[in-house]
């Protein structure tokens, strides 16, 4: 057999072995060989809305977004223009908006980023309150919102600023952690 006939056969055998070796290298998932996964969404939902209810059938939390994307590589869910509304019995309703957000795997935690605005509705005892920050972590089951960033809290006649905050909606307790400043307007006494 001449070398002209053996050369193509040897070349094809070499390419086949190289292909098998490369395939094996790509599939190796040992401790030092983390698989290369792409962070691509497996589904996308526009005008996304989900509602959770209390045991007696009342609406408790509404989560909406102009777009929701789920990523299978890390099981993360990202939101564009999210809006969260929570209304529990005997608690003032609060609504939060942001530019973007993420939902935890279990769905009980929501992370909001950029231009975050929280509005707590007025009730019989307290006026409407507004809170602005660049990041907010909502723990839905505990009716707790918190941040480690700068925050501004405003009610008619007073403004609080600080860095780091926890707000418990059920008890209406607000804790500012550091760099706290307050501006209070004196109460106007009614003239008789």
Classify residue 81: in a domain, yes or no.
yes
Classify residue 83: in a domain, yes or no.
yes
Claim to verify: residue 9 and residue 98 sit in the same structural domain: no
Classify residue 28: in a domain, yes or no.
yes
Claim to verify: residue 30 and residue 59 sit in the same structural domain: no
**pLDDT digits over 61-83, tens only?**
889 999 999 888 888 899 999 99
Classify residue 190: in a domain, yes or no.
no
Claim to verify: residue 52 and residue 138 sit in the same structural domain: yes
Claim to verify: residue 145 and residue 115 sit in the same structural domain: yes
The CATH number covering residue 136 comes to 2.60.450.10
Classify residue 90: in a domain, yes or no.
yes
Claim to verify: residue 51 and residue 28 sit in the same structural domain: no
Reply yes or no on whether the pLDDT at 31 is more than 80: no
- Name the residue among 50, 145, 163 with its Cα closest to residue 91: 145
pLDDT of residue 140: 80
Claim to verify: residue 122 and residue 82 sit in the same structural domain: yes
Claim to verify: residue 151 and residue 115 sit in the same structural domain: yes
Backbone torsions φ then ψ of 78, nearest 5 degrees:
-110, 145
- Share the mean pLDDT of the chain: 84
- Name the residue among 51, 62, 66 with its Cα closest to residue 93: 62
pLDDT-derived band at 36 (thresholds 50, 70, 90) equals low
Claim to verify: residue 88 and residue 180 sit in the same structural domain: yes
Report yes or no: 119 and 129 within 8 Å, Cβ to Cβ.
yes
Claim to verify: residue 3 and residue 52 sit in the same structural domain: no
Claim to verify: residue 81 and residue 144 sit in the same structural domain: yes
What's the rounded Cα separation, in Å, for the pair 112 and 130? 16
Average pLDDT rounded to a whole number, residues 150-178: 89
Domain span including residue 71: 43-184
What 8-state DSSP symbol labels residue 128?
-
Claim to verify: residue 142 and residue 163 sit in the same structural domain: yes
Classify residue 191: in a domain, yes or no.
no
Write the DSSP string, 75-112. Answer: TEEEEES-EEEE--TTS--EEEE-SEEEE-TTSSEEEE
Classify residue 113: in a domain, yes or no.
yes
Claim to verify: residue 103 and residue 12 sit in the same structural domain: no
pLDDT of residue 2: 64
Q: Which residue has the tokens 């999210």?
A: 82
Domain count within the chain: 2
């Amino acid at each position: 057999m001449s070398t002209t006939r053996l050369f193509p056969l040897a070349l094809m055998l070499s390419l086949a072995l190289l292909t098998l070796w490369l395939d094996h290298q790509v599939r190796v998932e040992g401790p030092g060989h983390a698989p290369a996964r792409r962070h691509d969404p497996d589904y996308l939902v526009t005008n996304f809305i989900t509602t959770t209810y209390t045991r007696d059938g009342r609406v408790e939390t509404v989560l909406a977004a102009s777009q929701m994307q789920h990523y299978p590589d890390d099981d993360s869910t990202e939101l564009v223009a999210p809006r969260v509304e929570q209304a529990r019995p005997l608690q003032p309703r609060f609504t939060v908006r942001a530019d973007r957000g993420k939902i935890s795997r279990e769905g009980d935690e929501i992370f909001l980023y950029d231009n975050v605005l929280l509005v707590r509705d007025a009730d019989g005892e307290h006026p409407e309150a507004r809170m602005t920050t660049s990041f907010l972590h909502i723990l839905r089951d505990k009716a707790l919102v918190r941040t480690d960033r700068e925050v501004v809290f405003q009610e008619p006649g007073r403004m609080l600023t600080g860095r780091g905050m926890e707000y418990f909606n059920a008890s209406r307790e607000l804790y500012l952690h550091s760099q706290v400043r307050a501006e209070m307007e004196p109460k106007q006494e009614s003239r008789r």
